Amino acid sequence: MKQVYLDYSATTPVKKEVLDQMIPYYTEHFGNPSSLYSIGLESKEAVNKAKEQVASLINADPGEIYFTAGGTESDNWVIFGVADALKNKGNHIITTQIEHHAMLHSCEHLEKHGYEITYLPVNEEGFVSPEDLEKAITDKTILVSVMLVNNEIGTVQPIKELAAVAKKHGVLFHTDAVQGLGNVPIDVKDMGVDFVSLSSHKIYGPKGEGGLYMRKGVKISNFVFGGAQEKGKRAGTENLPGIVGFGAAAELAKKNFDEHVKHCSSLRDYLVEQILEKIPDTYYNGPKDSSKRHPGNANITFEYIEGESILLLLDQFGISVSTGSACSSKSLKPSHVLSAIGIPVTKIHGSVRLTVGDFTTKEDIDYVVEKLELIVGRLREISSVNVEKGW
Ligand SMILES: *Cc1c(COP(=O)(O)O)cnc(C)c1O
């Protein structure tokens, strides 16, 4: 059966060019980067090369990149590392209502330990306002964290403006750029940020590998304690093949950036156009302006039916899509992101996220639209909401 993967924001396949570079680091180049003999030093060089590759994608210095086990760990490190290091300065952190659970659940944990968290609201397209941020800052504020690109509705935040507000008040600024990496231009120096969370598996690299950009001179507490790896800041023997893969994926993402964005946004625009034209009572959620949206992201509400039913029936045709974020889809709780942009609960339940990527083709989109028309039509025929609508 035909397989169409439209969930590139959940994860991506490792590209062959990336895998080819990783494999030797499982076998012949297996040395521990901390060892002082030749094969250890070779591994250390491979780690340093990967730092250059990742740094180059975001205009950082290689010494400002720390490898972690993924975006989740990077988010946790910043939140808990700043909370601990600056506890004498204050106990207030500002974030938003639409962050990834890696951020929100970490903040909820801190609330149990005496920290105060402000969750900034967003407008109907998911944008945070710099004025709201400025009003929320107090003399107890130690960190502002706003994600660069939202994983459900693709909103690209005005990070440069937001970071400038934090800086004016002498507050550290973090952005979770996991969805932004390789999809929107990132220049840490121009943006004026202190911390950036990165992940490898959303940019065609391996899973379980990520990074944290920490601006030179900024000091926070460790999150993982142990050996002296990563200049004593992140312990544990390096995931060498993972790091090499992340570096290779970052280099490829930089090289292919323009082509990738053009490919994804044109297929996404075509997908959205086709769905809205062919299927009645459908709505496009999130920013309408493509330049302020993740190039591959579409989030659509199909009224009167459930997103989970659509997902399961599409799966029968070999099509993979998502409802909300991967973590919340099992719980059937309405998406906190769609709630925050003011979509009523009944419509949230009928929402589906479709994300295209480098391997998506126009034929794939035509196939998905054809099956969606069929599935949505069938589900609406049997939907109990028909009674209310008087169909
Ligand atoms: C995927 C994702 C994460 C988590 O990254 P992992 O590498 O899977 O731990 C964090 N934030 C955002 C916005 C994400 O999309």
Q: Which atom of ligand 1 is nearest to the CA of 149?
A: 13
Report, as an integer, the average pLDDT of 263-272.
98
Q: How far is the CA of 149 from the centre of ligand 1 (A)?
A: 11
| The predicted structure's pLDDT at residue 258 | 98
Q: Which atom of ligand 1 is nearest to the CA of 70?
A: 7
Q: How far is the CA of 199 from the centre of ligand 1 (A)?
A: 7
CA distances from residue 41 to 47, 51, 55, 62, 237 in whole angstroms, order as listed: 10, 15, 21, 17, 14
- How big is the chain, counted in residues? 391
| The predicted structure's pLDDT at residue 200 | 98
Q: Is the CB of 296 under 6 A from ligand 1?
A: no
Q: How far is the CA of 70 from the centre of ligand 1 (A)?
A: 7
Q: Is the CB of 76 under 6 A from ligand 1?
A: no
Residue 325 has pLDDT above 80, yes or no: no
Phi and psi at residue 12, in whole multiples of 5°? -130, 155
Mean pLDDT of the chain: 96
Is 327 known to be catalytic? yes
Angle, CA 172 vertex, CA 166 and CA 177 arms, to 5°: 90
Q: Is the CB of 137 under 6 A from ligand 1?
A: no
Q: How far is the CA of 72 from the centre of ligand 1 (A)?
A: 6
Residue 297 has pLDDT above 90, yes or no: yes
Report, as an integer, the average pLDDT of 11-32.
98
Q: How far is the CA of 165 from the centre of ligand 1 (A)?
A: 25
Q: Is the CB of 151 under 6 A from ligand 1?
A: yes
- For the full predicted model, state whether its pTM sits above 0.85: yes
Q: Which atom of ligand 1 is nearest to the CA of 207?
A: 7
Q: Which atom of ligand 1 is nearest to the CA of 11?
A: 1
Q: Which atom of ligand 1 is nearest to the CA of 147?
A: 13
Residue 379 makes CB contacts below 8 A (sequence gap 6+) with 305, 306, 309, 310, 313
For the segment 46-57, what is each residue's pLDDT rounded down to a tens digit?
999 999 999 999
Q: Which of 100, 101, 110, 171 is nearest to 142 (CA)?
A: 171
Report, as an integer, the average pLDDT of 62-84.
98
For the segment 156-188, what is each residue's pLDDT rounded down to a tens digit?
999 999 999 999 999 999 999 999 999 999 999
Q: Which of 63, 55, 64, 101 is nearest to 79 (CA)?
A: 101
Task: Point out the catalytic residue in the list 23, 327, 332, 374.
Answer: 327
| The predicted structure's pLDDT at residue 383 | 79
Q: How far is the CA of 212 from the centre of ligand 1 (A)?
A: 12
Q: Which of 12, 9, 23, 7 is nearest to 201 (CA)?
A: 12
Q: Is the CB of 72 under 6 A from ligand 1?
A: yes
Q: Is the CB of 71 under 6 A from ligand 1?
A: yes
Q: Is the CB of 176 under 6 A from ligand 1?
A: yes
Shortest-distance Cα residue to atom 6 of ligand 1: 71
Q: Which of 202, 206, 224, 222 is nearest to 214 (CA)?
A: 222
| The predicted structure's pLDDT at residue 326 | 45
For the segment 207-229, what is each residue's pLDDT rounded down to a tens digit?
999 999 999 999 999 999 999 99
Q: How far is the CA of 98 from the centre of ligand 1 (A)?
A: 13
For the segment 336-356, what is each residue's pLDDT rounded down to a tens digit?
999 999 999 999 999 999 999
Pocket test for ligand 1, best of 9, 150, 151 (most atoms within 8 A of CB): 151
